[in-house]
Homo-oligomer: A and B are copies of this chain.
Amino acid sequence: MTDRHSEGEESSLDATPAPTTTLDFLDDALAESDAAAFVHVGDRFDDDVRYLTRFSGPDRDYAFVYVADGPEGGVLCAPSRFEGQARREFGGEVRTANAGDPAGVRARAVLDDLTDGEAVLAPQSIPHDAAAYLERGGYDVTSTGAVAAARAVKTDAELDALRRVQRAAAGGMRRAETVLAEASPDGDELVWEGEPLSTERLRREVNAELAARGVTDAENTVVGAGPTCTDLHYRGTAAVRPGQTVLVDLSPRGPHGYYGDISRTYVVDSDGGWERRAYIAVESALDVALDTVEPGVPARTVHAEAAAELAAYGFDPEAAEGEAGFTHGTGHGVGLSLHEGPSLRGEAELRPGHAFTLEPGVYDPERGGVRLEELVVVTEAGVEILHEYPRSFAPRGE
């Protein structure tokens, strides 16, 4: 696998510093609601706390506290045995007092120390026990969506992180395409390296390629074949057969926590028919969606345009799960979470820095499914695909 390591860009994934977070939006949120402080508590699986701290901590809760006119960058109550890592990764003040106490208790102690105010903002996902500790200490906790709103607009450094992981995702897709191109029809089977190809074998090949490129599959790799493409989150084992749609959807995560997201659909040895028509419709819907994206456009317009294009090709744009047609939305924001703002269902206007997927698809429970997906960012000029990867109905060999 040496060739994989000779690609300079991938091998420097880890060497690039993590994006940083500017916390001015918290000052604005505090001023707007006349609150004294912002608090969040979470573990390494909480992407809000990762955004606020850039700390890739443990799977135990830790606390972030931000006080207006308090320590720049806020205060991180670091878990025991993670102090050194916290100091390397977090730009604010690291406190280690009472490391054995619950994170909510430690956050309360920081508030007691730094502010006389009582009004505290927190994301609605803050654990109930943490909020209860604050409330028992006399603080009023109010939910804020400020963190989610800030996260929806990406900085240049964040876009660079997204591009890097999307490039690795494209490498994984290249592997899938290569395996499919190498596979040979044998009756109703596709044979690859002497054995029948299954979604499980293909998924393992792709995930190994992602790992070799320094990103994790994040348990998100979906490989469907024929009818199993209809299951949008299929992770099982099914035979991959000639003439079937093979849908590959990769959402790996890079070392700084940003996700990529790309889908392609291939057919080996197609006889045309439904698969070909579906592909043409989906590709056309994707192009329409791309053409629609620009600053000022209501986000829902992007979905409406893609859906209308699929309808024009005769596919039901409002099908329910398990029915034939377009059974999901056109996209979702991508960043430190695989699904975050902006929503493409909402009235809000697209803004430069909004990064999201465009992924129209059509499905037929008896035939298969086709989805094509690009990861894009809204620019002043319109839209940019974060990493270009060719589209093809038939898999291309190396």
Residues of A that sit less than 8 Å from B by CB? 1-2, 4-5, 11, 14-15, 45-46, 56, 58-61, 81-85, 122, 124-131, 141, 143, 193-195, 200-201, 204-205, 207-214, 216-219, 231-233, 235-237, 253, 255, 321-322, 327-328, 337-339
* Contact, CB under 8 Å: B127 / A321: no
Other-chain contact of A130, B46, B128, B194 (Cβ < 8 Å): B128
* Contact, CB under 8 Å: B83 / A321: yes
List B contacts of A195 (CB < 8 A). Answer: 2, 5
* Contact, CB under 8 Å: A15 / B237: yes
* Contact, CB under 8 Å: A235 / B212: no
* Contact, CB under 8 Å: A84 / B321: yes
* Contact, CB under 8 Å: A60 / B231: no
Query: Which 6 pairs, one residue from A and one from B, show the smallest C-beta to C-beta distance?
Result: A207-B211, A124-B129, A45-B45, A128-B131, A208-B211, A208-B212
* Contact, CB under 8 Å: A338 / B211: no
In angstroms, how far is the closest chain B Cβ from the Cβ of A201?
6
Assembly of this chain: how many copies? 2
* Contact, CB under 8 Å: B208 / A209: yes
* Contact, CB under 8 Å: A127 / B126: yes
Please name 10 further chain A to chain B contacts, defined as beta carbons within 8 Å, in addition to the given A58-B233, A81-B321, sorted by A numbering.
A2-B194, A81-B328, A84-B231, A124-B128, A127-B128, A204-B211, A204-B212, A207-B216, A216-B216, A216-B217
List B contacts of A1 (CB < 8 A). Answer: 205, 208
List B contacts of A207 (CB < 8 A). Answer: 211-212, 216
In angstroms, how far is the closest chain B Cβ from the Cβ of A163?
19
Question: Which residue of A194, A213, A219 has the most chain B CB atoms within 10 A of its CB atom?
Answer: A219
> How many angstroms between the C-alpha atoms of A210 and B216 in the bound complex?
11
* Contact, CB under 8 Å: A216 / B218: yes
> How many angstroms between the C-alpha atoms of A324 and B191 in the bound complex?
55
In angstroms, how far is the closest chain B Cβ from the Cβ of A356?
15
> How many angstroms between the C-alpha atoms of A130 and B126 in the bound complex?
10
> How many angstroms between the C-alpha atoms of A291 and B216 in the bound complex?
37
List B contacts of A45 (CB < 8 A). Answer: 45-46
In angstroms, how far is the closest chain B Cβ from the Cβ of A125?
5
> How many angstroms between the C-alpha atoms of A77 and B149 in the bound complex?
27
Chain B, residue nearest A201 (CB): B5
